[in-house]
Each structure stands twice: as structure tokens, then as C-alpha cells.
Structure 1
Amino acid sequence: MKNERLRHKNIIITGASSGVGLSIAEKCATSGANVILLARRLDVLKEIQEDLQNRYSVRVMIFKLDVSDTDEVKNVFQQIFQEIGEIDILVNNAGFGIFRSAHELSIEEIKGMFSVNVMGLIACTNMVLPIMLKQGKGHIINIASQAGKIATPKSSAYAATKHAVLGFTNSLRMEVSDRNIFVTAVNPGPIETNFFKRADETGNYEKSVKRVMITPDYVASKVVGAMLTKRREINLPGWMNAGSILFALFPGLFEKAGKPFLNKK
């Protein structure tokens, strides 16, 4: 399904080489948008670039970027600005998680998650904000997680990064609310991607949530459909957000009743 609002718009997507980022890129291209794809794997991006340009006749720019390297973020975005003067949408999608008990995580692993999930997201946002403020329009979409609303065992550091993303997103939304810049948080549950190959080496968690997993295509369709609207938050699947509401209202009861399921990692 096309989003006619996106025709000829310039959309930056981080973590665009696979999973949700790739699905978002394809749906944006289908809608006639020009896409700027950022990821660490330049060889994969080149294949995606050729494919999208051939199929949709849109402009596809690619840049190798590790969002945890803030100097590299600055350099890459400056290159983008030199080639494209206006940025309509930024999708902060890059991120990863490691699911282990808190005492089993190394400080390096924790720093790595914060560097990508939080500092990388903020660095990319801070690069486009001056452009959007000058334009008097724009949309920033941050891919957070249900983990940012409900912390679970063996995801302490990962959940902390996503709580930080939601805090940043909610504050930013209020800061720019009168500047015609929209800010949207996306909180998906478990998604069928390679995320769990790194997050859960045992494979136990992936098996336990297999029946409630959603697809990257489903997430991307909801994200792209909300582009250039005032949508505050997207929770996927919708029923899962009921858990976060219950958690906010009755945290002790939720933790006690949900323990058998939450401990399946």
C-alpha cells in the first residue's frame, strides 16, 4: 500500500541493510520517496540500492555508517546535507540487544548497546534537527521497543537503553511540538529478524515467543503509514500494549503474575 504523502520526499533510514529498516526502505521507495540508507554493511547496501532503483525509479543514496561512532555520524550527515538540501523524515532504526542476566554482561557489551541504541540515535537526531527547524517541518521516528515500557529478566541493559529512547523521544516531541516537526515512538514486540541471533545465543527466548512474533513487513507498513502524521506512538502488536498499561497501574501484581512467562529467556 502506497503512502502518497511520501512522493519525492527525502527519507533517511539507519540500520537499513536488513529487517525492519530494509522493509521500511522498500515501502518508502514504493511510495515514490527518495531514500538515504545507512548501515555498516556497504556491500549489502549496494545491492539494495540497485534493486530499489531498478524497481521503483527513485533516488537511492547509500552510506556506510556505524551510528556508535559520533564523528562518523557527523561526517556522513554533512555529506548527505551537501547532496540533498532538505530532509523530510529520519527513521532511527539501528539497534541491537543482548539478553543475559545483568551480572553476566560485560561493561563493554553494555556500553556497546548504549552507544548504538541511545547515543547513536541521539547523534543522528541532533544532526537533522537544525535542518528541520530551519525548514519548519519534518518527522523523526524512533524505533524503540515494548522493552522500553516493560522491563523483563535478562534484558536489564537492553531495556534501559529503550527506556532512554522513550524518555528522549517524549521530551523531544514536546520541545518541537509548535515547530511543525512530528516525533513518533515505535514500540514493537518480538520481530522475526536476525536480532535474536545476537540477543539470545541459546535460542530459548525466540522459541518461547515464536507464536507472538510479528514480521518486519508488518512493522514497516505501520511505520510508513504513519509518516508525516502527528502519530505520537505506535505499539505493535496493539494487544501487547495492554501489558504496559497494566504494568504502569499495577507493577507488583504484573511482575508476580507474569513471572512464569517473563522468565522464559
Structure 2
Amino acid sequence: MKNKDLEGKTVVITGASGGLGEYIAYKCAENKARLFLLARNEDRLNRVANRIREEHGIDCTVMALDVSDLRKIPSIFERIYEEVEAIDVLINNAGYGIFAEAEDLKLTDLERMFSINVLGLISCTKAVIPSMRKRQFGHIINIASQAGKLATPKSSAYAATKHAVLGFTNSLRMEMVRFGVYVTAVNPGPIRTEFFRYTDPEGAYLENLGRVVLEPEKVAEKIVQVIFTKKREINLPWWMNWTSILHTLMPNTVERLGRKAFFKK
């Protein structure tokens, strides 16, 4: 998989210490991008960065950042701008979720989901907007979810955060098109990553889904392929996206027919 336009470009990835973010980093490195990897766990970031340096000889910088700490985000991006003239691509990948019915949802979990999934994403985006507008160049990619299109039981709060991400992304796209900056939303279904170790500790959800679970490397390939293109959205898998479209057209029917499947979490 090649995206020649990435060579020599600066890419910032949040949540890059594992899961989808880690694979996006590897795919960008294959295309010779200059990488800044952000996440809470610096040891795990260094593991990813060392592999990239050894396999691709790519310049790769790690910076510890919890995107829920909104006060630290501006200083992190200031440090990046001290090292490079511009950020060409921002991939907002950091995410957090908990499966629980609304009655059982802890407010601390709710607060953390919105802090990471929404406020952290918006804050990171705001840090790159002025430069991208001035240069009239750049690409912002926000990792949302199919849950942002079709909410299901036990994911009310998580779905709410992803609805917010899609709303922000769609508005941002219209604002930034005037300056030649691309904005893409990525809406994957369940991906086989450590995300579900925290979201669903019992492991029943991925087990119930079986072979329909997405592999992170394949999703990362799709994302890297569309960098510096006008792609509005990436929706995976296709059939899950069609379910959300049908739900918009026939909500009662989809909820009735899909009730058993929706409760598999």
C-alpha cells in the first residue's frame, strides 16, 4: 500500500501506543512520513517508535499526553511546532469507551469518555487549525465510530460522544474547505484491539461478533490510503453502515428486527 504524497510530510497521531493508532503509525512510516506519536503510556510509545526506526529508518518523536488533560494539549503542540515548520496531518485516534446501560453508567466514566473522545479531539484540532488555514494545506482525520450513526443498547454514552465527533467533523469540513484543508471522519465497527479490554472486560462482545470484527491493520490501510484526498467518510464494514442508513429511513423496523443482535454486548 503506497501513498506517495505522504513522503516527508509531518503526521501527528493521538492514541498511538497501541491498537488502531499503532497500525496507522506503521502504515505512515511505510510511506516515509515524519511522525509524532502521542499517548499516555510513554513506554509503549517508545516500543512503537523503536520498531518504526528499526524497520523504516523514519524520524519518529514520542510525547506523553493524556488528551483528557486539556490544559496540556496546547503546550504539546507548541513543542511539535518548535521541531517542525508545520503539521500536515492530524489523526485524532485517542478514544475511550465503557459498555453499560444508562442506569448503571458511572458519572466518572461518562466524564472521561467526553473528555477524551470529544473535548480532547476538539482541543487537538484547534491546535492545528490556524497553521493549516494559513498554509491552505493539511488533513484532519477524526476516528469516530459506527456507534455515532446507530446507537445501540449499553452504548448510550459512548454513542453520544461519537455523535458529537461526527457533528464537529461535519461542521469543520465545511469551514476548512474554504482553505483547501481536508477533513475526514472514520466510522469503523468493532476492531480487534485492546479497546475492548476496558470497554467490555468479560469479552462477550467480540466473541459474539465472531468473524465480523475488523482487523486494525486493514482499517489503518484504508485510512492512510485516503490521506490528502477529498474522502468525506470511511465506513467499515459496509453492511454495518447500510444498517445505519436503513435505521435513518425505517428506525422502528431496524430496532425491532435488530433487537437481539443489538443486545449482544
Could you say which TM-score interval applies, normalised by the shorter chain?
over 0.9
The equivalent of 1:31 in structure 2 is 31
Distance in 2 between residues matched to 1:252 and 1:239, nearest whole Å: 19
Q: Which moved more, 1:199-208 or 1:112-121?
A: 199-208
Distance in 2 between residues matched to 1:202 and 1:16, nearest whole Å: 25
Superposition map of 1:36-185 within 5 A? 36-185=36-185
Q: Which amino acid aligns with 1:133?
A: R
Q: CA RMSD in A?
A: 0.8
- Deviations along 1:59-80, one digit per CA (max 9) or x if unpaired, are 1011000000011111111100
Q: Which moved more, 1:239-248 or 1:161-170?
A: 239-248
The equivalent of 2:191 in structure 1 is 191
How far residue 260 of structure 1 moved from its aligned partner, in angstroms, is 0.9
- Deviations along 1:117-150, one digit per CA (max 9) or x if unpaired, are 0000000000011110111110000000000000
Q: Which amino acid aligns with 1:163?
A: H
The equivalent of 1:17 in structure 2 is 17
Distance in 2 between residues matched to 1:202 and 1:27, nearest whole Å: 31
Superposition map of 1:212-251 within 5 A? 212-251=212-251
Secondary structure of 1:177's partner?
A: helix
Give the structure-2-normalised TM-score.
0.98
Q: Which moved more, 1:65-74 or 1:52-61?
A: 52-61
Secondary structure of 2:23's partner?
A: helix
Secondary structure of 2:100's partner?
A: coil
Distance in 2 between residues matched to 1:150 and 1:244, nearest whole Å: 5
Q: Which amino acid aligns with 1:225?
A: Q
Distance in 2 between residues matched to 1:235 and 1:107, nearest whole Å: 30
How far residue 210 of structure 1 moved from its aligned partner, in angstroms, is 2.2
Give the structure-1-normalised TM-score.
0.98
> How many residues in Structure 1 have an aligned counterpart in Structure 2?
265
> What is the percent sequence identity of the aligned residues?
52
How far residue 45 of structure 1 moved from its aligned partner, in angstroms, is 1.2
Distance in 2 between residues matched to 1:232 and 1:207, nearest whole Å: 31
How far residue 54 of structure 1 moved from its aligned partner, in angstroms, is 2.0
Distance in 1 between residues matched to 2:151 and 2:209, nearest whole Å: 16
Q: Which moved more, 1:208-217 or 1:147-156?
A: 208-217
